[in-house]
């Protein structure tokens, strides 16, 4: 992962050139190693930007034959499927393309001196099924605007279908009115994506399921739980010693589903009272964690206030060890200090949001969702069912 230190560990499809790196989620699919796209940077007094250029890179020479998976060829002309990446998480997009055995589409994205964004597709997408990989992670407004312009560029280039692949959907927490005169920004963002020209949205672990209803176009909602569950299954933890903990009442349904798949582990709930935005105060614990290995499950870690206060309570109640599991690692300050303070045995996240070098610490483990998203993209493209992935 770009920017991650050696203390972070990457699993579940981090290196597509190795046949053994295929996730156990899809054992019958073998990723085909392809040429990796290279990010080119350029700058001038008026603009700076980047583009993808894979044509100048040599092919990989391997000692074993590798079949092209799913019928997708390495050349763009061999398939109507196209995958483009924005600037938010190009490493994840490259891993997804590698899983599918194809190259990322060529795109040029620049920013003018005044901050305006310029997007140009550098290959034809007429009549193609286009997938745009762009999480709206921090800086959320920049990445959201970039996604909208990418969608518009594809629409004006006569793409047949445009799918916005949003591994992390920013503004998802603004999904309802808690007080008078508040906006529902999640609905506004959904309208912007729809009006820009997207035909479908592929999102991962939305903050609340009701956000799906804000879109007037189809939404495919996938979950990062299988990736984390696969990793936990590989650890030497006795199933009878595990208790799954929801850090708040709103995440009970998520934690219950996680516990059911983790050998039907018992459930505990942290009762918290939020004092304000990004501020939480733990009040009580519902359930027994004494002598147990507590696995805290949440959809995102922002400032880590909720999950760290919950971990403090779990230790006071006699938990033997505390693991934190989350799909989205937003890691706004002071998340790193709270997570690395010794409260957690391990902090397990995925790469839906790129983890910067400054945010890494010894207890951090980063899992890749590239295989999960790649499989989902192929099934959407091939009009296949997605529900069987999570059974």
Which pTM value belongs to this model?
A: 0.80
* Residues 267, 139 share a domain: no
- Residue at 251 is within a domain: yes
Determine the Cα–Cα distance for residues 209 and 201; give it in Å rounded to an integer: 14
Is the peptide bond preceding residue 319 cis, with omega within 30 degrees of 0? no
Residues 119 and 204 placed together within one structural domain of the fold: yes
Alpha-carbon gap, residue 261 to 247, rounded angstroms: 18
Q: What pLDDT does residue 275 have?
A: 64
Under DSSP, the state recorded for 62 is: -
Residue 51 within any structural domain of the chain: no
Three-class SS state of 109: strand
Residue 299's alpha-carbon distances to 84, 203, 337, in angstroms, are 26, 13, 20
Task: Report CA-CA distances (Å) from 44 to 19, 113, 132, 142, 291.
Answer: 41, 9, 27, 20, 60
| 199 and 315 part of one domain | no
Residues 207 and 299 reside in one and the same domain: no
CA 237 to chain centre: 26
**What residues contact residue 173 under an 8 Å CB cut-off, 6+ apart?**
186, 207
Last residue of one domain, picked from the residues 168, 201, 222: 222
Say whether both 291 and 201 belong to one domain. Answer: no
Query: Based on the domain organization, do 151 and 217 belong to the same domain?
Result: yes
In-domain check, residue 53: no
Could you tell me if 196 and 277 lie in one domain?
Answer: no
The answer to whether the beta carbons of residues 211 and 175 sit under 8 Å apart is yes
Q: Is residue 42 part of a domain?
A: no
Strand pairing category for 129-133 and 117-121? unpaired
* Domain contains 374: no
Q: In b/e form, how buried is each residue of 119-135, taking b as 16+ CB within 10 angstroms? A: bebeeebeebbbbbbbb
Say what the pLDDT of residue 367 is.
97
d(CA 299, CA 50): 31
User: In three state form, how does the secondary structure of 285-308 look?
Assistant: EECCCCCCEEEEEEEEECCCHHHH
Domain membership flag for residue 306: yes
**H runs (alpha helix) in the chain:** 90-99, 140-156, 185-196, 225-233, 252-261, 305-316, 335-339, 370-381
Give me the residues of the chain with pLDDT under 70, please.
Answer: 1-78, 274-280, 282
- Residue 193 · residue 164 · CB < 8 Å: yes
CA–CA separation, 299 and 204 (whole Å): 10
Per the domain annotation, does 63 fall within a domain? no
Query: Which residues pair with residue 258 across a beta bridge?
Result: none
Q: Are strands 117-121 and 107-112 parallel, antiparallel or unpaired?
A: antiparallel
My answer on whether 247 and 210 are in the same domain is no
Q: Apex CA 222: angle with CA 368 and CA 140, to 5°?
A: 70
**Do 208 and 92 share a structural domain?**
yes
Q: Are residues 230 and 362 in the same domain?
A: yes
Residues 214 and 253 in one domain: no
Integer Cα distance of 324 and 299 in angstroms: 11
287 and 161 fall within a common domain: no
Q: Can you give the CATH number for the domain in which 249 is found?
A: 3.40.50.2020
133: containing domain? 81-176+183-222
Domain count, the chain: 2
Q: What burial class does residue 7 get, using C-beta atoms within 10 Å of its C-beta: 0-12 exposed, 13-18 middle, 19+ buried?
A: exposed
Instruction: Please report whether residue 70 resides in a domain.
Output: no
């Amino acid at each position: 992962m770009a920017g991650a230190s050696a203390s972070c560990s990457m699993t579940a499809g981090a290196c597509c050139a190795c046949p053994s790196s295929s996730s156990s989620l899809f054992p019958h699919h073998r990723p085909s190693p392809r040429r990796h796209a290279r990010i080119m940077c350029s700058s001038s007094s008026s603009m700076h930007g980047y583009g993808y250029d894979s044509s100048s890179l040599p092919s990989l020479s391997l000692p074993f034959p590798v079949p092209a998976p799913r019928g997708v060829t390495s050349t763009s002309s061999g398939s109507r499927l196209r995958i483009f990446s924005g600037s938010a998480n190009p490493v994840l997009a490259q891993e997804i393309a590698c899983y599918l055995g194809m190259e990322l589409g060529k795109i040029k994205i620049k920013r003018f001196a005044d901050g305006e964004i310029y997007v140009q597709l550098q290959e034809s997408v007429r009549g193609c099924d286009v997938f745009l990989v762009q999480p709206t992670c921090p800086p959320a407004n920049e990445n959201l605007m970039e996604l909208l312009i990418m969608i518009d560029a594809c629409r004006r280039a006569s793409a047949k279908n445009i799918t916005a692949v949003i591994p992390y959907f920013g503004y998802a927490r603004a999904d309802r009115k808690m007080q008078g005169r508040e906006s529902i920004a999640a609905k506004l963002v959904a309208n912007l994506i729809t009006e820009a020209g997207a035909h479908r949205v592929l999102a991962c672990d939305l903050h609340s399921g009701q956000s799906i209803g804000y879109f007037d176009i189809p939404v495919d909602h996938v979950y990062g739980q299988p990736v984390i569950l696969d990793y936990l299954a590989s650890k030497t933890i006795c199933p009878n010693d595990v208790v799954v903990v929801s850090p708040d009442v709103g995440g009970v349904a998520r934690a219950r589903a996680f516990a059911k798949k983790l050998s039907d582990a018992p459930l505990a709930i942290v009762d918290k009272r939020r004092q304000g935005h990004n501020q939480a105060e733990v009040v009580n614990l519902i359930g027994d964690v004494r002598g147990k290995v507590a696995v805290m499950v949440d959809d995102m870690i922002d400032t880590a206030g909720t999950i760290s206060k919950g971990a403090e309570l779990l230790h006071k109640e006699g938990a033997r060890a505390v693991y934190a599991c989350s799909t989205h690692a937003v890691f706004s300050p002071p998340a790193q200090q709270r997570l690395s303070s010794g409260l957690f045995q391990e902090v397990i996240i995925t790469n839906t949001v790129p983890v910067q070098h400054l945010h890494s610490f010894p207890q951090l483990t980063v899992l890749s969702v590239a295989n999960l998203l790649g499989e989902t993209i192929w099934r959407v493209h091939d009009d296949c069912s997605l529900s069987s992935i999570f059974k």
